[in-house]
Amino acid sequence: MKTQVAIIGAGPAGLFLAHLLKRQGIESVVLELRSREYAEGRVRAGVLEAGTIDTLNNLGLGERMMREGLVDNGLDMRFNGRTIHLDLPGLTGRSVRIYGQQEVVRDLIGARVNEGDPLIFEAEVVRIEGIETSAPRVHYKQGGEMKVLECAFVAGCDGFHGVSRASMPEGVITTYTRAYNFAWLGVLAKAAPMSDMTYVNHDNGFALCSRRSASISRLYLQVPPSDRPENWTDARIWDELHTRMFDDGRTEIQEGEIFQRDIAQLRAFIASPMQHGNLFLAGDAVHIVPPTGAKGLNMAVADARILARSMAAYFSSNSRAELDRYSAECMARVWKTIRFSAYMTGLLHRFDEHSPFDRGMQLTELDFISQSEAAQRAIAEQYVKLSDVAD
Ligand code: APR
Ligand code: PHB
């Protein structure tokens, strides 16, 4: 099989890239390790920045997101029983939209399949050959058989554990990592959510009340890294949420049936550069954000937009100039996004290693933000439009 761009991975990075390339008349084949059901069912974050919303709409695929997604105008941060309310449109002129990542993935997969374009599930890429040549070959296993996809470019959109980053020659990539000594327990519950996205820094640890619809809450609790979902009964989860949210009368957070739970470790990771020869990396394959601020999906979409534009420039002009700048064009934004996510993580979590001095500084920073419109605007701007890029 032969195509212009071999895309490894049908997460947001790979799927957005495939659709953006198609709109530019460029062919691609998407190879995905998992089944369609698995890819569509994976629960992740759900905050779409303005640029991500525009991208989905410009592709003509935003209809369900506009209908079912919820506009989020407010972001609250609580500490010491107090609430800082950030009015996102008032501070920035824009807002974000709540729409689960798996809904975005479902819309993109549905459209790809309906348009009859190649997206092969249960196809495991095992080796990428010839990235320094003009005809790389992607070797993948499908139904117990080894197959080869020939292409001009390979897009490695296969997440943190994929094969693409590992296919870069020795010495090309430098990595930067920060591990956190805690995780997030995330649950979905059939319960009316709080009206604003609410983050809290409590003595017991971080918590976050988000939502998926008018009747589904998405809730998170900071837990030790070795914790397991089965250690958390429903009653324990609700108790801890009421306590951490300073919900003293226990009436603010509505309880309901918890129907999904998972634990995710927190880490920040950057690999640079994002390209070598004719292999280009995008999304979680090349950088991971801690989830505070929900930037993972938005960052992946911004990468895909720049990569699609750069590949289109190559195919229309035969000049590599723009393509050669792909990584450099992404890296400043990537670092800023990781910086913001690490800042929000540092501001809102309890750290075992914190001294009473460190804890005092953290709470003082929240107090400062509560009194400074400039500080509030800085956070709001990064929350709504850090992933803005030019198409
Ligand atoms: N061959 C084919 N597909 C692979 C392989 C492989 N060897 N290894 C991994 N994959 C697939 C995974 O099954 C997954 O569907 O690549 C896909 C990568 O998708 P994501 O992990 O969703 O990564 P990305 O598209 O970069 O999206 C980033 O997703 O991980 C979240 O929080 C993250 O929101 C962020 C966003
Ligand atoms: C979510 O709704 O899943 C979510 C919201 C905000 C975050 C992280 C995750 O910062």
Q: What is the CATH number of the domain that holds 150?
A: 3.50.50.60
- Number of domains, the chain: 1
Q: pLDDT category, 173, cuts 50, 70, 90?
A: very high
Residue % of the chain over a pLDDT of 90: 97
Q: What is the pLDDT of residues 92-138, one digit of tens each?
A: 999 999 999 999 999 999 999 999 999 999 999 999 999 999 999 99
Asked if residue 190 belongs to a domain, the reply is: no
Q: pLDDT category, 388, cuts 50, 70, 90?
A: confident
Give the tokens for residue 101. Answer: 């990542």
As a whole number of Å, the end-to-end CA separation of the chain is: 30
pLDDT at 390: 82
Q: What is the pLDDT of residues 230-255, one digit of tens each?
A: 999 999 999 999 999 999 999 999 99
Asked if residue 226 belongs to a domain, the reply is: no
Asked if residue 291 belongs to a domain, the reply is: yes
Measure the CA–CA gap between 319 and 317, rounded to whole angstroms. Answer: 5
CB atoms within 10 A of CB 39: 22
Q: Is the minimum distance from the CB of 14 to ligand 1 under 6 angstroms?
A: yes
Give the tokens for residue 114. Answer: 């309906």
Measure the CA–CA gap between 36 and 83, rounded to whole angstroms. Answer: 42
- What average pLDDT does the segment 316-322 reach? 94
157: CA distance to ligand 1 center in Å?
6
Asked if residue 389 belongs to a domain, the reply is: no
pLDDT at 391: 80
- What average pLDDT does the segment 244-270 reach? 96
Measure the CA–CA gap between 24 and 5, rounded to whole angstroms. Answer: 12
Q: Are 297 and 289 in contact (CB under 8 A)?
A: no
Q: Are 227 and 185 in contact (CB under 8 A)?
A: yes
Residues with Cβ < 8 Å from 72, sequence gap 6 or more?
Answer: 47, 88, 95, 96, 97, 98, 196, 197
- Exposure on the CB side of residue 188, measured as CA atoms within 13 A: 15
Measure the CA–CA gap between 146 and 169, rounded to whole angstroms. Answer: 23
51: domain range?
A: 5-70+95-176+268-352
Predicted TM-score (pTM) above 0.75: yes
pLDDT at 316: 96
142: CA distance to ligand 1 center in Å?
18
Asked if residue 381 belongs to a domain, the reply is: no
Asked if residue 331 belongs to a domain, the reply is: yes
Asked if residue 149 belongs to a domain, the reply is: yes
Angle between helices 373-385 and 50-58 (to 10 degrees): 30
For the chain, the average pLDDT equals: 97
- What average pLDDT does the segment 289-313 reach? 97
Nearest residue to 304 (alpha-carbon basis) of 233, 389, 364, 241: 389
Phi, psi for residue 156 in degrees, rounded to 5: -85, 95
In the predicted model, is pLDDT for residue 376 greater than 90? yes
Pairing of strands 279-281, 153-156: parallel
Residue % of the chain over a pLDDT of 70: 100
In the predicted model, is pLDDT for residue 277 greater than 90? yes
Q: Is the minimum distance from the CB of 32 to ligand 1 under 6 angstroms?
A: yes
Q: What is the pLDDT of residues 134-171, one digit of tens each?
A: 999 999 999 999 999 999 999 999 999 999 999 999 99
Asked if residue 168 belongs to a domain, the reply is: yes
Per the model's pLDDT, the better-predicted residue between 43 and 77 turns out to be: 77
Using most ligand atoms within 8 A of CB, pick from 124, 265, 284 the residue to mutate for ligand 1: 284
Ligand nearest to the CA of 284: 1
- Exposure on the CB side of residue 300, measured as CA atoms within 13 A: 31
Q: How far is CA 153 from CA 156, 241, 283, 391, in A?
A: 10, 48, 17, 20
Report the atom number in ligand 2 closest to the C-alpha of 292: 10
